[in-house]
């Protein structure tokens, strides 16, 4: 099978936007690819997270992804730092073929440097080289990334090419698989759903039916429909609730709702009720699996993943050392 990899940010909680934009794609991809998913704790160090929080977020992230259907039998799930020896070694070799000037011109670097001028660290500049090491360590053929990471993937491809020119044909040039591009809207009524905007603006995968009902009830709907008797505007632009339906409600049901809304046969309360039920259908299996999965279970999964990943990684490292001409003593 074709190999693929994807990195996961260690954040404590997931919302239905993350489910739609990231998790769902990983669960589907593990059926088609030889999939490796890693929790990117080394990458997160550029912003100096608190040690205890980092540890607990990594464990919780593993728990969340397994509860969401990432299956350790079907893929390899590991923490990036559990392969630090191999990744950091490869990172050193790759850093020698990557011109510094090019790294400093990367738009994401320039943007981060501008936002946090007090913390432009060496690791931040080298971020794309570390990412190249994550990918090349397994001679990975496909990388699942968001659009915003495409520039970084291009750097990984360039690094592979330059390395191969110097040392022979060792690495493939990985191709992107783009994540689900849709952006689930925020319950706040504008922008995408995001953890940073507060719990009332997103549906967490841990919310129960009551919480979901309550949050959906309070969300903004069609601003032009003031009275129940007026026809509504069931379009993605015209109504935030309808926008959410477009992600979580099946086509037939959605068409019926739209028709009823245009004719003022259904009010916002009932329409929101249907949305809440459909959101709950996504969230409930997650919530139940999450509750059954202990932290110790999650750590076990990560240990198994580490051992599976390390086997392949070490064989690639041996090949790389040989190609470079390092004395194997």
Which residue has the closest beta carbon to ligand ATP? 21
Cβ proximity of 159 and 97 under 8 Å? yes
Q: In terms of Cα–Cα distance, which of 189, 263, 279 is closest to 231? A: 263
Cβ proximity of 171 and 177 under 8 Å? no
Residue 195 is a binding residue for ligand ATP (CB under 6 A): yes
Nearest to ligand ATP of 195, 308 (CB atom): 195
- In angstroms, rounded to a whole number, what is the distance separating the alpha carbons of residues 292 and 226? 44
- The packing angle between helices 209-218 and 268-292, to 10°, is 150
Tell the smallest beta-carbon distance from residue 195 to ligand ATP (Å): 4
Contact stretch for ligand ATP (CB under 6 A) within 59-67, 129-137, 178-186, 296-304: 178-186
Nearest to ligand ATP of 17, 126 (CB atom): 17
Nearest to ligand ATP of 134, 179 (CB atom): 179
- The packing angle between helices 295-324 and 84-95, to 10°, is 40
- In angstroms, rounded to a whole number, what is the distance separating the alpha carbons of residues 269 and 81? 48
- Of positions 34, 86, 134, 179, contacts ligand ATP by CB under 6 A: 179
Tell the smallest beta-carbon distance from residue 184 to ligand ATP (Å): 4
Per the DSSP assignment, residues forming a β-bridge with 145 are 178
Query: 310 — alpha (psi -120 to 50), left (phi > 0) or beta?
Result: alpha
Footprint (CB under 6 A) of ligand ATP, residues 42-101: none
Nearest to ligand ATP of 121, 194 (CB atom): 194
Residue 121 is a binding residue for ligand ATP (CB under 6 A): no
Residue 192 is a binding residue for ligand ATP (CB under 6 A): yes
Q: Is 141 helix (H, G, I), strand (E, B) or coil?
A: coil
CA distance to 18, 36, 273, 296, 326, per residue, from 55 (Å):
21, 21, 38, 13, 35
Nearest to ligand ATP of 57, 171 (CB atom): 57
Contact stretch for ligand ATP (CB under 6 A) within 78-86, 102-110, 187-195, 319-327: 187-195
DSSP assignment letter at 19: I
Q: Provide the annotated active-site residues.
A: 112, 192, 195
Contact stretch for ligand ATP (CB under 6 A) within 14-22, 229-237, 305-313, 315-323: 14-22
**Where on the chain is the footprint of ligand ATP (CB under 6 A)?**
9, 11, 15, 17-18, 20-22, 146, 179, 183-184, 192-196
């Amino acid at each position: 099978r074709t190999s693929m990899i994807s990195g996961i940010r260690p954040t404590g909680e997931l919302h239905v936007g993350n489910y739609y934009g990231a998790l769902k794609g990983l669960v589907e991809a593990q059926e088609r690819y030889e999939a490796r998913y890693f929790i990117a704790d080394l990458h997160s160090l550029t912003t100096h997270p608190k040690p205890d929080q980092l540890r607990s977020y990594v464990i919780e992230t593993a728990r969340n992804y397994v509860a969401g259907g990432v299956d350790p039998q079907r893929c390899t799930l590991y923490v990036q730092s559990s392969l630090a020896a191999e990744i950091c070694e490869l990172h050193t070799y790759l850093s020698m073929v990557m011109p510094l000037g090019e790294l400093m011109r990367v738009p994401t670097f320039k943007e981060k440097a501008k936002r946090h001028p007090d913390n432009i660290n060496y690791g931040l500049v080298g971020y794309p080289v570390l990412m190249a090491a994550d990918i090349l360590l397994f001679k990975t053929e496909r990388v699942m990334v968001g659009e915003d990471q495409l520039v970084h993937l291009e750097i990984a491809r360039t690094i592979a090419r330059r390395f191969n020119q110097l040392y022979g044909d060792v690495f493939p040039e990985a191709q992107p698989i783009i994540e689900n591009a849709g952006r689930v809207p925020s319950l706040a009524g504008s922008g995408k759903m995001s953890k940073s905007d507060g719990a009332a603006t997103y549906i967490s995968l841990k919310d129960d039916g009551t919480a979901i009902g309550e949050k959906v009830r309070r969300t903004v709907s069609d601003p032009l429909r003031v009275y129940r008797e007026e026809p509504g505007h069931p379009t993605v632009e015209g109504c935030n609730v309808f926008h959410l339906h477009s992600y979580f409600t099946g086509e037939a049901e959605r068409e019926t709702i739209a028709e009823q809304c245009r004719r003022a046969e259904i009010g916002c309360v009932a329409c929101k009720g249907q949305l809440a039920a459909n959101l709950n259908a996504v969230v409930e299996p997650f919530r139940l699996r999450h509750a059954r999965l202990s932290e110790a279970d999650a750590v076990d999964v990560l240990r198994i993943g580490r051992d599976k990943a390390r086997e392949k990684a070490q064989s690639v490292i041996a090949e790389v050392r040989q190609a470079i001409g390092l004395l194997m003593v």
